[in-house]
Amino acid sequence: MIRKTHEAWLELVARRRLVEDAVEATFALGPGDRALVAAGDTIVPGTPILEHLRDPRVEVVSLRNGDAGVPADPRPGDRWTGALAATGLRRRPAAAEGELLAPDPGSSDRWRIVTGDHRDVHQSPLAGTVREVRPGVRIVITATGRGIVGVLFAGSASRGRLELAASSDGELRPSGIDVGRSGSILVVGSRVDAEALTRARAMGVRGVVAASLTGKDLRDFLASERRQRASLHPTAPFGVLVLDGVLRRPIASPLMALLERLAGHDVALVADPPALVFDVPGVELPHPPADWVRVRHGPNAGREGSLVGLAGMRRFATGVHLEAAWVRLGSGAPVALPLGDLERSI
């Protein structure tokens, strides 16, 4: 344990919260999407919260007071129900429902609306209270549980049973994913590639948690997601939570200890903020030693050790001089590392 006379050193090391107690998850609403909840509503996992317009298009309609489905005082974001006028391609009026976008320039009663033919209902992956609903912008839900916040999210919000598929510094290969993991959220270790993500989604997995994901694998996965969403058949939600970034490194030991305690319980993955949200009463949070630190950057990125003391100003690669600290990594002698490269969990 670090001596009391050295406690001030800890304040010089960046702190990273192991969990966030109050997670406010934001679900984006695009033009034409419709919120199915209102501010103040209490929801549970599986509650329909929004209707997503898959193929939005802009139409111009005439709003006449007194017509059914026409708001008395139309404003952008209001819902509209009526008939679209006949055109060259549309020989007869067609019933439609959409969202008022903006007045048509040069006209007092003509508005542009966003409408479409295919709509998907999205369910909430977590329990909580709806704090805010802004049509065309967002739905904000204050989660009942706590969250592990990462740095990047790809895909869509989802919910499933947490499973440990690899060790903290391991990697899950595509061949290790089968239908037996359907409905689960997998912790896959230090990294994951696009091929494994594509196979996991095809096998019915609901999400993946990894320490890192390279830029190329992220682009390949996002391209696959766009192709999947362009199909007419709705797909099960699938999300990817990246805890650290693009450089391969093990999952921090305190965080891995918490994930081990959550294994077998249902958790949620949300995009904004990128987080894993859990509501498991009685789960005990890990408490690393006061002098425990983790290396964030540099050749030793991902390694863990104990803080021994300050090393003063030191010269590092490329000739830069930085404030450093002595850190014992493993059983060897302490090494001098830049203070800016270190972090500790609180």
What residues does 110 pair with on adjacent strands?
A: 62
Q: Are the C-beta atoms of residues 206 and 237 closer than 8 Å to each other?
A: yes
Q: What are the backbone angles phi and psi of residue 168, rounded to the nearest 5°?
A: -60, -30
Mean pLDDT of 265-275: 95
H or E segment and range at residue 225: helix 215-230
Q: Left (φ > 0), alpha (ψ -120 to 50) or beta: where does 77 sit?
A: left
Mean pLDDT of 27-41: 91
pLDDT at 235: 77
CA angle centred on 21, ends 160 and 287, rounded to 5°:
90
For strand 24-28 and strand 42-43, is the pairing parallel, antiparallel, or unpaired? unpaired
**What pLDDT does 310 receive?**
85
Number of other CB atoms surrounding residue 95 within 10 Å: 9
Average pLDDT over residues 259-266: 94
pLDDT band at 5 (very low <50, low <70, confident <90, very high): very low
Bridging pattern class, strands 207-212 and 239-245: parallel
Q: Sorting pLDDT into bands at 50, 70 and 90, what band is 85?
A: low
Q: Has residue 317 got a pLDDT over 90? A: no
Which strand (E) or helix (H) includes residue 261?
helix 253-262
Please report the pLDDT score of residue 136 as a whole number: 83
Q: Work out the pLDDT band at 70, boundaries 50, 70, 90.
A: low
Percent of the chain with pLDDT over 70: 90
Give 28's pLDDT tier (boundaries 50, 70, 90).
very high
pLDDT band at 238 (very low <50, low <70, confident <90, very high): very high
Indicate whether 13 pLDDT > 90: no
pLDDT at 240: 95
| Mean confidence (pLDDT) of the chain | 85
Q: What pLDDT was estimated at residue 273?
A: 93
Span 42-59, average pLDDT: 89
At 4 the pLDDT is 41
How much of the chain exceeds pLDDT 90, in percent?
40
pTM of the model: 0.86
Q: What is the pLDDT of residues 177-219, one digit of tens each?
A: 888 899 999 999 898 999 999 999 989 999 999 999 999 999 9
pLDDT value of residue 65: 53
Q: What is the pLDDT of residues 114-167, one digit of tens each?
A: 888 788 899 999 999 999 999 888 999 999 999 999 999 999 999 999 999 988
DSSP string for 111-139: EEEEE-S-EEEEEPSS-EEEEEEETTTEE
Residue range 305-314: average pLDDT? 86
Average pLDDT over residues 19-32: 90
What per-residue confidence (pLDDT) applies to 6?
52
pLDDT at 66 over 60: no
